[in-house]
């Protein structure tokens, strides 16, 4: 690897990718909408931060100049058809056009498990359209499709744990929806492996953990691991879809980013698990990664109620 441009590099996955590339002494440029979002990265060696909103740029050419590869982590979980299209499709059309012009051929893209043109949710359909743009481009593209990701700074298990510390019961729609959660460190490792290995070009990999859970099981585990109600967690009340949709609508109308949207509920109509091994896509094992179990990792950070990023240790080692 020479020099890598990361779009969306200050987020959950991007932070771990940046850490791993720093350990490999790989020069990295991170594009972010706000510099203060990148404070936790600025002391990493060989890393530059550029303040820019890539969705609003007419051209990505100035960012691409001098780089050899691009990692695209830009995504949004909530929105409407237009906002999903802008983030998951139009940005990739622009990226392909400008990569071709700048002769930057290598792209590693994070999509989502369940991406399908006929999927029930706007999010999943837009993710599929974005994949199609990249895979039809003729560039050296690798696509990773992670299931829901967990880790010390996640907004997944941590959210369930926080809700159980505040409320005596948890009303839950789509309680039987199935997921195969993947550790964020394993997804970040997969990104780096793909950058290193040219045999991954034109491949789509499913990034899933070794265990399948229902949403209700995950909520209960989050409460247990975080010690809520003496380790028993809070009771879960299963909501019928009609009430779940009403709950999600009210969350959408509240200020700030919603905890749940109606489109999220639509996406849970399809199990978020790996394809059949005999007929599906390759997984993390094909990249030489043995995925970590949620039951092994989640108690280490939910029980401590604090971040477990390796960045503080790296800073201490560098005396910064």
Ranges in the chain, pLDDT < 70:
1, 304-320
Geometric angle at alpha carbon 284, from 10 and 63, rounded to 5°: 30
Whether residue 120 lies inside any domain: the answer is yes
- Residue pair 245/171 in contact (Cβ under 8 Å)? The answer is no
Q: Which pLDDT tens digit goes with each residue over 148-161?
A: 999 999 999 999 99
Domain count, the chain: 1
Residue 263, in any domain of the structure = no
- Would residue 262 count as lying in a domain? no
Asked if 37 and 101 count as a contact pair (C-beta separation under 8 A), the reply is: no
pLDDT given for residue 319 in this prediction: 40
pLDDT of res. 317: 45
Looking at residue 304, its pLDDT comes to 54
Q: Is residue 145 one of the residues assigned to a domain? A: yes
Q: 280 in a domain, yes or no?
A: yes
Q: Give the domain CATH number at 22.
A: 3.40.50.720
In the numeric block, the tokens 């108690």 are attached to 299
Residue 131, domain extent: 4-150+182-209+273-291+306-317
Neighbours of 28 (CB within 10 A): 25
Tell me if 222 is assigned to some domain. Answer: no
In a domain, 296, yes or no: no
Predicted local distance difference test score (pLDDT) of residue 306:
39
Residue 122 resides in a domain: yes
**Is 166 buried (19+), middle (13-18) or exposed (0-12) by CB count in 10 A?**
exposed
């Amino acid at each position: 690897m020479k020099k890598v441009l990361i779009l969306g590099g200050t987020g959950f996955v991007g932070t771990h990718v940046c850490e791993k590339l720093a350990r490999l002494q790989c020069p990295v440029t991170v594009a972010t909408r706000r510099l203060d979002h990148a404070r936790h990265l600025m002391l990493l060696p060989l890393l530059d931060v550029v303040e820019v909103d890539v969705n609003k740029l007419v051209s990505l050419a100035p960012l691409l100049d001098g780089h050899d590869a691009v990692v695209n982590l830009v995504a949004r979980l909530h929105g409407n058809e237009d906002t999903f299209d802008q983030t998951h499709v139009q940005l990739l059309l622009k990226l392909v056009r400008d990569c071709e012009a700048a002769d930057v051929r290598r792209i590693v893209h994070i999509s989502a498990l369940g991406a399908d043109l006929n999927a029930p949710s706007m999010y999943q359909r837009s993710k599929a359209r974005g994949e199609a743009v990249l895979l039809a481009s003729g560039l050296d593209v690798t696509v990773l499709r992670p299931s829901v990701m967990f880790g010390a700074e996640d907004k997944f298990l941590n959210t369930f744990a926080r809700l159980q510390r505040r409320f005596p019961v948890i009303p839950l729609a789509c309680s039987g929806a199935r997921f195969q959660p993947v550790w964020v460190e394993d997804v970040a490792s997969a990104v780096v492996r793909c950058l290193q290995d040219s045999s991954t070009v034109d491949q789509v990999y499913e990034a899933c953990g070794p265990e399948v859970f229902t949403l209700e099981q995950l909520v209960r585990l989050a409460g247990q691991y975080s010690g809520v109600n003496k380790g028993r967690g809070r009771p879960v009340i299963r909501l019928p879809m009609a009430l779940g949709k009403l709950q999600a609508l009210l969350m959408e109308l509240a200020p700030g980013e919603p905890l749940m949207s109606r489109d999220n509920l639509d996406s849970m109509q399809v199990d978020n698990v790996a394809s059949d091994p005999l007929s599906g896509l390759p997984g993390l094992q094909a990249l030489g990664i043995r995925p970590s179990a949620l039951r092994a990792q989640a108690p280490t950070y939910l029980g401590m109620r604090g971040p477990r990023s390796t960045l503080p240790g790296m800073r201490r080692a560098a005396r910064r």
